[in-house]
Amino acid sequence: MSAKIKIGVLGAGSMGSGIAQVAAQSGHEVVLTDKSLTQLDSARGNLDRTLQKLVEKQKMSAEESQAVSDRILCSTSMADFEDCGLVIEAIVENLEVKKKVFSDLEKICRAECVLATNTSSLSVSSIAAGCENSGRVIGIHFFNPAPLMPLVEIIPAVQTSAEVLSQSKSLIDSWNKITVVAKDTPGFIVNRVARPFYGEALRIYEEGVADFATIDWAMTEFGGFKMGPFTLMDYIGNDVNYAVTDSVFTAFYFDPRYKPSLTQKRHSDAGWYGRKTGRGYYDYSTDKMPEPNRDKVLGEKIFFRILVMLINEAVDAVFLNIASPKDIDLSMTKGVNYPKGLLQWANEIGPGKVLAQLDQLADEYREDRYRASALLRRMAAAGQSFEFK
């Protein structure tokens, strides 16, 4: 794959246009397509405003800004992908739609063109199955906003050739991104490991242990997280966050560890998506946010309960060879801005202490939701800690 191949991006939403910006800033000619001319016009306007802000902040010159803009061609026709070396799809999260699109792309693009999906939760192998040459299909998952978030998950399908994996990783590395390689399993690394941050917080609320504000306070005050789970869900959108949780839960054959919350579903059903609708777990029509209960004992208890669930998920990802310990911790610090890697946290606390808390929860609730990873149990028994190579 040539260093300056032409890049195609399918879908001119915030993610697609962000990827187009990243590729153009890295010196590539880019074809950004969408079936909606209105969406393309909006994407072009947003891109030009973003580039202008970078000029105003003196992060690039006016000439560089113009050059980046000029390198992006907006089109409503996928036929313009004909001479691209890589096409990244960033459209609706619907498997059948994606499979049809990839089948169409294969008829348009050259044989050596790599076809990538930016899916956050769907099976890359299933998407690749829509192509005759499925070996050239791979997952390249950016995080929103793509120009600012450093992490990119690279997900080879079971059909992906070793050459396509190597070429794709090298190319995205050259865009000054931090890449991690993840197995093609539901949620990959970040959207799998992060589920308890939301799910256990919702469970704590549903049990009446604490309100939204108190749970958020506990995670920022004692954990050092930049946002609490309810503030973050309102920022992401409860419709989006619930859909990802439901997708992961279904894909894992309804494993109770990933069970969605009725509280979040009701907020989504009501149209209380969060900031974008003015109402979510918090009411954004007023500047006055509810005050948390700043009880230290309660706060530490909430924090530790959520933390051990997160650590258990990260440990199980190592156990099931989803990714290396190094890549898992990189994913959580660079993909969702966790204050430290969860496996590093496990080392500091001690696997035995994490296991004891999980076993206490499992004994109290008698739910498979709280089952400890076999690897965590083995490490606690052996007094081992994680190594990052």
Which of 139, 159, 181 is the endpoint of a domain?
Answer: 181
Q: Which residue in the list 65, 121, 141, 238 is annotated as catalytic?
A: 141
Domain of residue 147, CATH code: 3.40.50.720
Beta carbons within 10 angstroms of residue 97's beta carbon: 12
pLDDT 10s digits, 248-260 = 999 999 999 999 9
> Does 30 share its domain with 151?
yes
Q: CB-based burial of residue 51 (10 Å sphere; 0-12 exposed, 13-18 middle, 19+ buried)?
A: buried
Please state the domain count of the chain. 2
> Does 249 share its domain with 158?
no
> Does 63 share its domain with 136?
yes
* 10-42 burial: b if 16+ Cβ within 10 Å, else e: bbbbebbbbbbbbbbbbebbbbbbbeeeebbeb
Return mean pLDDT, the chain: 96
Averaged over 362-384, what is the pLDDT?
97
* pLDDT on residue 35: 95
Has 321 been annotated as catalytic? no
> Does 378 share its domain with 229?
yes
Averaged over 141-159, what is the pLDDT?
96
* pLDDT on residue 357: 98
Has 153 been annotated as catalytic? yes
Has 141 been annotated as catalytic? yes
* pLDDT on residue 287: 86
* pLDDT on residue 108: 97
Let me know: does 164 contact 310? Beta carbons within 8 Å.
no
Evaluate if residue 4 carries a pLDDT over 90. no
Let me know: does 237 contact 198? Beta carbons within 8 Å.
no
Q: What are phi and psi of 194, to 5 degrees?
A: -80, -10
Domain of residue 363, CATH code: 1.10.1040.50
Averaged over 181-194, what is the pLDDT?
96
Q: Which residue in the list 118, 120, 123, 373 is annotated as catalytic?
A: 120
Whether 387 is in a domain gets the answer: no
Distance, CA of 24 to CA of 37 (rounded, Å) = 20
Which of 138, 161, 181 is the endpoint of a domain?
Answer: 181
Residues present in the chain in total: 389
Which of 157, 181, 205 is the endpoint of a domain?
Answer: 181
The pair of structure tokens assigned to 143 is: 């995080």
> Does 73 share its domain with 11?
yes
Q: Of 152, 144, 301, which Cα lies nearest the Cα of 218?
A: 301
* pLDDT on residue 2: 59
Domain that residue 260 falls in: 192-382
Has 123 been annotated as catalytic? no
Let me know: does 73 contact 32? Beta carbons within 8 Å.
yes
Report the percentage of the chain scoring pLDDT > 90: 95
Distance, CA of 121 to CA of 37 (rounded, Å) = 28
pLDDT 10s digits, 294-305 = 999 999 999 999
Evaluate if residue 115 carries a pLDDT over 90. yes
pLDDT 10s digits, 16-59 = 999 999 999 999 999 999 999 999 999 999 999 999 999 999 99
> Does 128 share its domain with 212?
no
Evaluate if residue 293 carries a pLDDT over 90. yes
> Does 208 share its domain with 169?
no
Whether 388 is in a domain gets the answer: no
Whether 389 is in a domain gets the answer: no
* pLDDT on residue 3: 66
Averaged over 321-326, what is the pLDDT?
97
Distance, CA of 264 to CA of 239 (rounded, Å) = 8
Q: Which residue in the list 191, 238, 241, 373 is annotated as catalytic?
A: 191
What's this model's pTM, rounded to 2 decimal places?
Answer: 0.93
* pLDDT on residue 153: 98
pLDDT 10s digits, 326-343 = 999 999 999 999 999 999
Whether 259 is in a domain gets the answer: yes
> Does 161 share its domain with 228?
no
Angle 329-333-339 from CA coordinates, rounded to 5°: 110
The pair of structure tokens assigned to 373 is: 């990873």
